[in-house]
Chain A
Amino acid sequence: MLPKPDFIEILRTLAKHGAEFILVGGVAAVAQGAAISTLDLDLVHSRSPENLDRMMKALEALGARYRTPGAEGLKPARSHLESEGHQLLMTRAGPLDLLSVIGSRRGYGDLLPHTIEVPVGDVKVRVLSLAEVIKTKEEAGRDKDRAMLNVLRRTLEEKCKRKP
């Protein structure tokens, strides 16, 4: 049985622990107005030593465990977050994917200039801009990404029309 998804609670918990991360992927697109559905929360985190400490504390608070077969139920280790791999986790508030790099191997520092700050509940979250989300999905070139690209592009167009 799966927990009720609560992306806001995951983001709040990470932010309250001072973790440095960027919301990317489908949920980043939804936060900016895209009418799409997605099940997992994708984040790119800073791999600085200080931030890894903050991330580990936040993951502990969220009860994060691996959801990948073979590692299911295991706690993520600091060394895992330091690596370039993807950490596919399940928390008490739903799935959470920690990504070290996305698209053409862009990490936290590369993506930071392409982010905006978005208020989510009582915290502010760094979110990859919609134009960059589109770019990463184009780079990925997967069928599931291609299927949502039309909606993302139209959302960006409509957002631009609304700008004063």
Chain B
Amino acid sequence: MDEKQRLSGSSNIETRESDSPYTEDGVDLTLIWWMLSLTPTERLEALQEHLWSMMRLRGDVAET
């Protein structure tokens, strides 16, 4: 399995360069496209929820 196949999560699907969701430096474009589809407020809400989830996983917060 080459690097591109590993990143795309499949050894069976052949991807063309232009179809790859990853740039050559490994940036996941699908996440960028998703974030760009949101409003600024929604982007900040997504960040806040992500952080809150991480903090809960680490046990940094009191469960209510």
Neighbour of A37 across the interface among B28, B41, B50, B61, CB < 8 A: B50
By the criterion CB–CB under 8 Å, are A33 and B36 in contact?
Answer: yes
Given the contacts A35-B34, A162-B36, A2 and B55 also touching, CB distance less than 8 Å: yes
Number of interface residues of A (CB under 8 A): 28
Q: B29 at the A/B interface (Cβ < 8 Å)?
A: yes
Cβ-defined contact, B32 with A154, below 8 A: yes
The yes or no answer to A70 lying at the interface (CB within 8 A) is: no
The answer to whether B35 touches A34, judged by C-beta atoms less than 8 angstroms apart, is: yes
- Interface presence of B7 (CB below 8 A): no
Cβ of A140 under 8 Å from chain B: no
Residue of A nearest to B56 (CB): A4
State whether A5 touches B48 (Cβ < 8 A).
Answer: yes
Residue numbers in A under 8 Å from B61 (CB-CB): 1-2, 4
Which of B41, B60, B61 gathers the greatest number of chain A CB atoms within 10 Å?
B41
Q: Which of A55-63, A73-81, A97-105, A115-123 interfaces with chain B?
A: A115-123
Residues of B within 8 A of A120 (CB): 40-41, 44
* C-alpha gap A7/B51 in the complex (Å): 11
Q: Which residues of B have CB within 8 Å of A121?
A: 41
Instruction: Name the residue among B48, B50, B60 with the largest chain A CB count within 10 angstroms.
Output: B48
Report yes or no: A118 in contact with B29, Cβ–Cβ below 8 A. Answer: no
A35 touches B48 (CB 8 A): no
Of B36, B41, B47, the most chain A CB neighbours within 10 A belong to B47
A154 — which chain B residues lie within 8 A by C-beta? 23, 27, 29, 32
Give the interface of A toward B (CB within 8 A): 1-2, 4-8, 27, 30-35, 37-39, 118-121, 150-151, 154-155, 158-159, 162
27 pairs from A and B in contact (CB 8 Å cutoff): A2-B60, A2-B61, A4-B61, A5-B48, A5-B51, A5-B55, A8-B41, A8-B44, A27-B44, A27-B47, A31-B40, A32-B40, A33-B32, A33-B35, A33-B38, A33-B43, A34-B32, A35-B35, A37-B47, A37-B50, A38-B47, A39-B51, A119-B41, A154-B23, A154-B27, A154-B29, A155-B35
Q: Which 6 A-B pairs have the closest CB atoms?
A: A35-B31, A33-B36, A33-B35, A154-B27, A31-B40, A118-B40
